Each structure stands twice: as C-alpha cells, then as structure tokens.
Amino acid sequence: MRQCWAIAKKNIRIYYLKGPVIIFGILFPTFLFLAFAIGRNVPGESLVPGLIGMALFFIASATTPAILPFETRTRTLERLLVAPLPLSALIGGDVLSAFLYGLFLSVIPIAISFGALGASAVQPLAIIAAVGLSALCFALLGTLLSTPPTDQPSSIMTLSNLVRLPLIFFSGVFVPIARMPQWGQWLSRISPLTYTTELLRTGVGQQAQIGPWWCVAALLGFSVAFWTISLSLHRRNMSRRLAL
C-alpha cells in the first residue's frame, strides 16, 4: 500500500493537469452533455443521473490511459520497475490516482445536480455507493484500455474513446433503458455505466429498471474483471513496452 500511495502521489503531481486528461476527462464530457441537454424541454432533475454518471465515467477513466504512454516515452517506467517495484503496485498506484481524481472532480456535477437542477437525495447511501464504486470501476477500465504497448498518448486516447463513446449511448445516460428497443436494453447490460446511472436514479428517487443491489454487484464484478484482465495483459506486454 505504501508503494501504491507513492505512485499515486507522483501521478497526482504530474498527470492531473496533462492536456489529454483535461480534454478527454473534463472538457469533452462537459460539451457532450451540454449539446444533449440545451434546448430540450425536459425537467432538469431527470438529467441528474446521466450528468453525474457520464462525468464520473470520463473523469475516472481519463487518467490511467495517459500515464503509461507518457512514462514509456520519458523512460521513467524502466526506473520504476527496477526500484524494485512489483507491477501490481505500479498499476495499483495508477488506479488509486485515477480513483481519487474521479472522486474529487465528481463534486462539481453533484453540486450542479443538487444546486442548479433541483435534484434531491432520496437515498443518500445509493448515491455514495454509485460514486465510490463507479470511480473505482472506471479507473480500472482506464487501466485496461492502457494495455496496448505504445509511447503515444494520442493512440491510447483514441482507442479509449472508441470504447467509451459506444458505451455511453446504450447505457441509459441520454435515453432511459425503458424507452430503448429490446436489443438496446440487452446491450445496456454489458456497460458498467448502465449500473451507475440506474443506481443514481434510485438515489435521487427516480424509477430504475435495475435494482440497487444488482447494480452494486455488477460494478464490483466489472471491477474485479477489469483488474484481473488488465494486470494479465500488462504483464504480457511489458517487455514490448520497454523495448519501444
């Protein structure tokens, strides 16, 4: 844990204000949400689950894809691995920094939701569980997306958006699951963001199609799967990454 925290502190100092993190983690989801919300005659509180969920999704998954390509390019990755530092601690520190980034910046959409859009916390524990579990799950997703061996952050960010954008449109962020066609409802089950928005709907007192305990179990299951797969792929690709 001390090693993970040391890596996380290094990431916080260096990578939180990097261009790709700011653009794809904050600016891109902000303008995407505004493009959807402005001009539509819908109650403000109905936009709350999608606003918080999409912000968490992009923010928490934006940091980890940028870290390893930057460190591969600057050759700091080699120094970390000969520290000696286990790969699990290195990846764990990346996940921890992304998790904290998601929690910290989630305050902004939550404040907008309850201050400007008129939402109310009907079940606060559901909101806390949604934010905490989703920040962890999406940080781990970002780690999985960073597994291709490259020293080009733009390549990883392009790959990340190819994965993240389709997940948004069938996860209930813009259109509730109940209003989707049958095939869309089935597809929504494979997106972790679906369970975030459904748990947030429960938290703010809206009708949810998936029960809160199923959402919690799904987010935990996705987190375990993302960690296991990403660690295995990083171990397999590390020698290729160091050879770049």
Domain borders along the chain are 2-242
218 pLDDT above the threshold of 80: yes
CA angle 98, 101, 106 (to 5 degrees): 125
Higher pLDDT pick, 194 / 78: 194
Provide the pLDDT for residue 144.
92
Question: How many CB atoms are closer than 10 A to CB 8?
Answer: 20
Provide the pLDDT for residue 244.
67
115 pLDDT above the threshold of 80: no
42 pLDDT above the threshold of 70: no
Higher pLDDT pick, 172 / 236: 236
Provide the pLDDT for residue 39.
62
**pLDDT tens by residue, 173-183:** 877 787 888 88
Least confident of 1-15, 42-56, 186-200: 42-56
Instruction: Give mean pLDDT, residues 1-28.
Output: 81
What mean pLDDT value characterizes the chain? 84
> Percentage of residues in the chain with pLDDT exceeding 70?
94
229 pLDDT above the threshold of 70: yes
